[in-house]
Structure 1
Amino acid sequence: MYRPKSTIEQWRIFQAVVDHGGYAQAAEKLNKSQSSLNHAVAKLQQGLGVALLEVKGRKAYLTPEGEVFLQRSRKLTYGMQELELLADVLASGWEPILRIVVEASLPRQPLYQALSDFSLRSRGCRIHLMEAQPAGCQAVISKQAADMVLASQVDAGVTSLPLLSTVYVPVCAPGHVLTELDEVSALDLDAQLELVLAESKETEEGWEKAEQRWVINHLHDTLSLLRRGVGFSWLPLEAVAPLLEAKILVRLPMTNQALRKRFSHLVLPHSSPPGPAASLLLTLIRQHYTKATT
């Protein structure tokens, strides 16, 4: 069975001697006797069989081996500090992990901003961010398999917060036959292949009227096919705006300027109140989605 030849305290004293330039200076900072520091470092070096410091006059200097051990030891003591802080955090009720599920076609920039702010105050809380289609989101909500879900559909009795209205526009590649029309009607769309961003088991009334349609599970795949001239699709304006500006995709001029919309809802699947980490993230999400609407 392995037994350590050193202690965390010995490494901390070794670092203090280096950082403060000598045993006397370190002893004053640590409020310890100089002899106890000398003893700790001597025992550390003896246990390792390696000279870490050499004293010249009243100053202690690192040996080449000591320079290597200094960097490694800092990681060790920092890791121990993190463990102790984590224990304090968890003891206070702070959640160690938050699971977030986002519906594939909903806007995410405000969420990313909220997560960016949260990372600075997360206190070790880990984030699991996952994507799902509407049916998958509903399954997660019903099973209470996540802490937060951003979804377009909310059942009665589920705790939710309205966030943002998302506009969907019809787009295709520049060379598509639909771009030859000055105005595009619903009948024109019905005759063309539509790429529907959804799961195969989903039926979204009013969104799948084309005679030909492919059901695509991911936004990335939908955009990749569109860029190759395959079909057209109704997609979030936020997601396609950079591609429209770069003229990689074209927004179709609808006869009646028809727009489709979905509303983003923040759903809290659990019946119990959110913990302190979740409450902080909720506040940040609300702030950034509010900014996105103004």
Structure 2
Amino acid sequence: MITHEQLRVLDAVVGEGTFRAAAEKLHKTQPAVSHMIKQLETAAGVTLLSRDGYRPVLTPEGRAFHRQACIVLSQMRELRNLADRLAARQEPEVALSVSATCPMAPVLAVVGAVGRAYPQTHIKLATDVLGGAADRLMRGEADIIVAPDNSAPLDEVESIPFLELDIIPVARPGYGPERGTGPIENAAMRAFVQVVVAGTGRGAYDQTRDVLPDGLRWTVTDFAAKKEILLAGMGWGGMPEHMIRAELESGTLVRLDLAGYPVRHSRLMIMRRRDRRGGLVGQALWQALAGEDRMPEKT
């Protein structure tokens, strides 16, 4: 008999490329994964994976089988989600992780409204940097995240656009090399401290963005500390525009025209795992976050 778990294991081996990586993803031992694949091949009556090379490769029969298995797995996820919705009750806790670059006002407006509608549910709100939110989501420590696009595996998450923002390289006036008529090259910035915020994930989904190579660097744990260092004239770095709007207007911080660090347009998405869409309150929070048009046109 072919089981749902055997199909999950086959899909993991195909997706991850090795039995070992599939075992780590599924939190199983490698022998257990190998055994389940053998059981599946016995039940199917065909060899699904060739073990002749370093990595297992789908046989022609395996490719056809895996295509149908993916359809079955998708249908099973939908069936489980439907069952969860039909049996939905107000869950005791919903965990939300928000990128530290995200303006909090639109998030808090939604969380406040959902919290008032479901006062018995404890809403946990965390902020994370770089791959931290995706790490929480994939480990099951967050039900919904607001994070940069492509920060989580696209085949395993459902995502909806939330808002866009600009990450701008800034410093105190006079900090950095002499300004010319064109962009400042990387080599000219190496003698000046770049302040970066460390990712809060455990490494699997962390992304290194906008870090100049071979330069001086300080690492902090949050954007508030980073901003204080920049205002003190002790370094330069990228900041979300909404966090430094007043300082840019007053001139206490100025934009840097850097060849290696242009203004980055960041797109934040609402994400949840396809296999864990949540209960009554989680669904309400998801729908509320997705219910308003938060994608302003760039000017």
Normalised-by-shorter TM-score class: 0.5 to 0.7
Normalized per residue, which structure has more helix? 1
Tell whether 2:277 aligns with 1:273: yes
CA gap of 1:180–1:244, structure 2 versus 1, over 3 A, is same
Structure 1 residue aligned with 2:162: 163
User: Larger radius of gyration, structure 1 or 2?
Assistant: 1
1:218 is aligned, of 203, 219, 222, to 222
CA gap of 1:107–1:178, structure 2 versus 1, over 3 A, is farther
Tell whether 2:185 aligns with 1:186: yes
2:98 is aligned, of 94, 99, 102, to 102
Q: Provide the TM-score with structure 2 as the length reference.
A: 0.58
CA gap of 1:272–1:258, structure 2 versus 1, over 3 A, is closer
Instruction: State the distance in 1 between where 2:225 and 2:260 align.
Output: 29
CA gap of 1:177–1:114, structure 2 versus 1, over 3 A, is same
Instruction: State the distance in 1 between where 2:249 and 2:95 align.
Output: 34
Structure 2 residue aligned with 1:31: none
**Structure 1 gaps, min length 5:** 1-90
Please tell me whether the aligned partners of residues 172 and 251 of structure 1 are also in contact (alpha carbons under 8 angstroms): yes
CA gap of 1:256–1:205, structure 2 versus 1, over 3 A, is closer
Structure 2 residue aligned with 1:14: none
Please tell me whether the aligned partners of residues 182 and 253 of structure 1 are also in contact (alpha carbons under 8 angstroms): no
Please tell me whether the aligned partners of residues 167 and 236 of structure 1 are also in contact (alpha carbons under 8 angstroms): yes
Tell whether 2:128 aligns with 1:132: yes
Please tell me whether the aligned partners of residues 163 and 294 of structure 2 are also in contact (alpha carbons under 8 angstroms): no
Please tell me whether the aligned partners of residues 144 and 270 of structure 1 are also in contact (alpha carbons under 8 angstroms): no
1:145 is aligned, of 134, 141, 144, to 141
Structure 1 residue aligned with 2:152: 154
2:114 is aligned, of 118, 142, 145, to 118
Instruction: State the distance in 2 between where 1:210 and 1:248 align.
Output: 28
Measured after TM superposition, the shift of residue 233 of structure 1 is 0.5
* Partner secondary structure for residue 149 of structure 1: strand
Structure 2 residue aligned with 1:293: 296
Measured after TM superposition, the shift of residue 240 of structure 1 is 1.6
**More displaced, 189-198 or 178-187?**
178-187
Please tell me whether the aligned partners of residues 173 and 254 of structure 2 are also in contact (alpha carbons under 8 angstroms): yes
Please tell me whether the aligned partners of residues 192 and 210 of structure 1 are also in contact (alpha carbons under 8 angstroms): no
Please tell me whether the aligned partners of residues 193 and 235 of structure 2 are also in contact (alpha carbons under 8 angstroms): yes
Structure 2 residue aligned with 1:3: none
Cα deviation, 1:120-141, whole Å, max 9, x if unaligned, reads: 3233322111122223223212
Residue type at the aligned position of 2:296: T
Instruction: State the distance in 2 between where 1:101 and 1:194 align.
Output: 27
Cα deviation, 1:26-69, whole Å, max 9, x if unaligned, reads: xxxxxxxxxxxxxxxxxxxxxxxxxxxxxxxxxxxxxxxxxxxx
RMSD: 2.9
* Partner secondary structure for residue 113 of structure 2: helix
Measured after TM superposition, the shift of residue 154 of structure 1 is 2.0
Measured after TM superposition, the shift of residue 210 of structure 1 is 5.6
Total equivalences in the alignment = 203
Map 1:22-61; keep pairs closer than 5 Å: none
Residue type at the aligned position of 1:123: P
CA gap of 1:260–1:209, structure 2 versus 1, over 3 A, is farther
Measured after TM superposition, the shift of residue 270 of structure 1 is 6.3
Measured after TM superposition, the shift of residue 158 of structure 1 is 2.2
Structure 2 residue aligned with 1:8: none
Please tell me whether the aligned partners of residues 176 and 189 of structure 2 are also in contact (alpha carbons under 8 angstroms): no
**Structure 2 gaps, min length 5:** 1-86
CA gap of 1:257–1:154, structure 2 versus 1, over 3 A, is closer
Measured after TM superposition, the shift of residue 238 of structure 1 is 1.7
* Partner secondary structure for residue 120 of structure 1: helix
Structure 2 residue aligned with 1:198: 198
